[in-house]
């Protein structure tokens, strides 16, 4: 600069004073807002990242709520199942409070004095088990799979129904040609149950004509080749009945595997077909029939605990107080007691699996809490001002501003004019 003028110096001073004031104001704002930035423009990258972290935190908050709700639902379910488990328990000393104890008492009762009472106990216990599985959490039925707004279990005519489907529904086993799944139809168009008694041509020919009229002919391919056989017409099953039974069995099978997923922070993502990747959600569906059993086993006996107990009850009800078992009844009762143990064992397995699910939810809650804390800390590190640094900066800015003011006072007051006399 060749020449410094009063106006030029003042302009410079004004600009620098303003810069100094802006600096102090910014430092002041940082302390007041306790934030490193208050707009995207101040730090676009950090602002965008901080919002992403905040979004994650908001997701975690929701996931925590959902996970917490699901956990509480599982806790309630756990309590219900624990009550059932106690009723099924074979180890407790209070035999009359357990199903196994009651059945054992019945089996080992030499006089049969309390048989009718025990029958009632069995009936009440089975109903209590069903009531436990109709428990609600909030407004929803816990063990209803994906139909939480409706009562899942219903007893009609001593038959237990799950969501309107008999728990004992099973696809009838019918005769098929050897090596294939092709069902064999009798001459009347019906299917032949695999358990039905059938006779061959020779046996049929030996029957008198009146008896022959009760049979219906069918052809089947066995391992020995094609055979002509006969079955009682009353034993066959019509195609419609077969299809109805199969549909009911299919429904049970579907309902047993029914799932619905909630987002508890496992990723919750869909594949290219728009379907949820199952591992990214939590299956919150608790299906009552998985605990209680459904369908029939290879002996044609129900697998459902209620149905087994009802059968036991029916056998027990046939024998009056003080009477002895018939051998058949005793054997049947004994056999079904074994089935009950099997079903109870299955229940315990499912119960254990559910308990593991509860643990998973509890652990997940803890993880979400940690995740929440981490996220808050992460965006806090970006957004929140370091107060020590901020106050230091402010004091420095204030010092500079004061110095600028002081300099200004001397700059503006001094000139040659002041020394003229």
Partner 1 sequence: MSTIGTFDGFTAARLGIYAAQQGLQVTGNNISNINTSGYTRQRLDQVSLKTGGADMYRSMMDNHIGNGTLVTSINQIRDPYLDIRYRNTASEVGYSDTMLRGLKGIASILDEVAKGDNKDGLLYAQIKDLADCLSRLGSDPCKDNDTLARKSAEALCSLFNTYAGKLETLYQNTKTGFKQDLTSVNEILTNIRNLNESIRNAEICGDKALELRDERNRQIDSLSEYMQIKVEYTMEDIGAGKQIEKLTISLGNANPDSKVHTDETVLIDGVYGAQLSMPEKKPLPNPKATDDGFLYLKRKLDQDGNEVFDVNGNPVYEGTNKLSEAEQIDNDNYTLVVSRLYDSKHHQPKDPTVNEGHPVALDDNDLYGALQATRELLTEKGEFSTAADVALDENATIKRGILYYQKSLDLLAQKFAEQYNKLNQGYIFNQEGNCIDADGNELMLAGIDGVEAPVNVKSGLTELQKQNLIANGFIQKDIHGNPVLDKDGNQIADINSWLEGHGGVLAQGSGVLFSNRNDGDKTGDPTDPTNPLISASNISVSHSWSTGDVKVVPTCEVLFSEDGTPLPNTTQVENVNHMISLIEQSLVYDPKELDPDAVGSKLFVGCFNDMFSNMSTVEGNDERSTNIELNDSYTTLTDVDTNRMGVSGVDLNDEAMNMITFQKAYSAACRLMTVIDSVLDRLINNTGITV
What residues have CB less than 8 Å from 139, skipping those under 6 apart?
148, 149
- Applying CB under 8 A, among 262, 317, 367, 382 the residue interacting with partner 1 is 262
Check residue 327 for interaction with partner 1 (CB under 8 A): no
Span from 181-189, 196-204, 268-276, 324-332 in contact with partner 1 (CB under 8 A): 268-276
Q: Minimum CB separation from partner 1 for residue 351, in Å? A: 22
Considering only residues 332 to 361 of the shown chain, the ones binding partner 1 according to CB under 8 A are none
Listed in order, strand segments (DSSP E) in 211-281 are 215-222, 225-232, 261-262
Q: What's the closest the beta carbon of residue 13 comes to partner 1, in angstroms? A: 10
Residue 183, classed as helix, strand or coil, is strand
Among 25, 26, 38, 201, binds partner 1 (CB under 8 A): 38
- Do 152 and 144 form a contact (C-beta atoms < 8 A)? yes
Residue among 210 and 417 whose Cβ is closer to partner 1: 417
Report the C-alpha gap between 155 and 306 in whole angstroms.
10
Q: Which of 111, 128, 158, 164 binds partner 1 (CB under 8 A)?
A: 164
Closest approach, Cβ 61 to partner 1, in A, equals 8
- Under the criterion CB under 8 A, does residue 156 sit at the interface with partner 1? no
Neighbours of 50 (CB within 10 A): 20
Cα 398 from Cα 407, distance rounded (Å): 14
The residue within the footprint of partner 1, chosen from 197, 210, 388, 416 (CB under 8 A), is 416
Cα–Cα nearest to 17, from 406, 405, 350, 419: 405
Q: Among residue numbers 220 through 259, which ones bind partner 1 (CB under 8 A)?
A: 247, 250-251, 254-255, 258
**In whole angstroms, what is the distance from residue 232 CA to residue 186 CA?**
10
> Considering the rule CB under 8 A, would residue 69 count as an interface residue with partner 1?
yes
The binding track of 271-310 with respect to partner 1, each residue x by CB under 8 A or -, is -xxxxx----x--x--------------------------
CB-wise, 55 or 335, nearer to partner 1? Answer: 55
| Distance of closest approach, residue 372 Cβ to partner 1, in angstroms | 13
DSSP annotation of 173: P
Cα distance between residue 308 and residue 299, in whole Å: 13
Q: Which of residues 86-145 bind partner 1 (CB under 8 A)?
A: 138-140, 144-145
Determine if 410 is a binding residue for partner 1 (CB under 8 A): no
Q: Is position 5 an interface residue for partner 1 (rule: CB under 8 A)?
A: yes
Asked if 252 and 295 count as a contact pair (C-beta separation under 8 A), the reply is: yes
Pick from 269, 349, 352, 392 the residue near partner 1 by CB under 8 A.
Answer: 269
Contact 285, 259 (CB under 8 A): yes
User: Which tokens belong to 374?
Assistant: 């981490």
Q: How many CB atoms lie within 10 A of CB 214?
A: 13
């Amino acid at each position: 600069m060749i020449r410094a003028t009063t106006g030029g110096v003042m302009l410079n001073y004004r600009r620098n004073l303003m810069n100094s004031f802006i600096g102090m104001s910014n430092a002041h704002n940082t302390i007041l807002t306790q934030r490193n930035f208050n707009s995207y423009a101040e730090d676009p990258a950090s602002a965008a990242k901080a919002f992403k972290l905040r979004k994650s935190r908001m997701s975690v908050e929701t996931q925590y709520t959902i996970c917490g709700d699901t956990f509480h639902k599982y806790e309630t379910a756990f309590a219900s199942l624990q009550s059932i488990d106690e009723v099924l328990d074979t180890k407790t000393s209070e035999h009359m409070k357990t199903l196994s104890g009651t059945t054992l008492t019945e089996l080992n009762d030499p006089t049969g004095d309390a048989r009718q009472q025990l029958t009632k106990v069995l009936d009440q216990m089975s109903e209590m088990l069903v009531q436990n599985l109709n428990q609600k959490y909030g407004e929803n039925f816990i063990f209803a799979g994906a139909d939480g707004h409706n009562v899942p279990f219903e007893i009609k005519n001593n038959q237990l129904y799950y969501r309107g489907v008999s728990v004992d529904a099973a696809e009838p086993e019918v005769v098929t040609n050897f090596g294939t799944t092709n069902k064999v139809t009798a001459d009347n168009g019906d299917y032949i149950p695999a358990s039905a008694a059938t006779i061959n041509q020779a046996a049929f020919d030996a029957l008198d004509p009146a008896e022959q009229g009760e049979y219906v002919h069918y052809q089947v391919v066995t391992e020995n080749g094609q055979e002509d056989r006969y079955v009682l017409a009353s034993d066959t099953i019509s195609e419609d009945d077969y299809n109805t039974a199969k549909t009911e069995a299919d429904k049970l099978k579907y309902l047993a595997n029914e799932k619905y997923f909630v987002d508890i922070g496992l990723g919750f993502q869909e594949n290219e077909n728009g379907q949820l990747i199952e591992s990214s959600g939590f299956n919150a569906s608790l299906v009552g029939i998985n605990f209680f059993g459904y369908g029939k086993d290879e002996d044609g006996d129900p697998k459902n605990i209620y149905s087994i107990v009802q059968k036991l009850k029916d056998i027990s009800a046939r024998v009056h107080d003080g009477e002895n078992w018939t051998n058949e009844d005793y054997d049947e009762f004994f056999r079904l007691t074994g089935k009950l143990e099997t079903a109870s064992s299955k229940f315990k397995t499912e119960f254990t699996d559910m308990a593991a699910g509860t643990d998973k939810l509890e652990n997940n809650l803890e993880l979400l809490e940690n995740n929440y804390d981490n996220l808050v800390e992460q965006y806090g590190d970006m957004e929140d001002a370091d107060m020590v640094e901020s106050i230091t900066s402010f004091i420095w800015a204030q010092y500079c501003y004061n110095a600028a003011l002081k300099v200004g006072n001397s700059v503006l007051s001094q000139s040659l004019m002041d020394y003229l006399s």
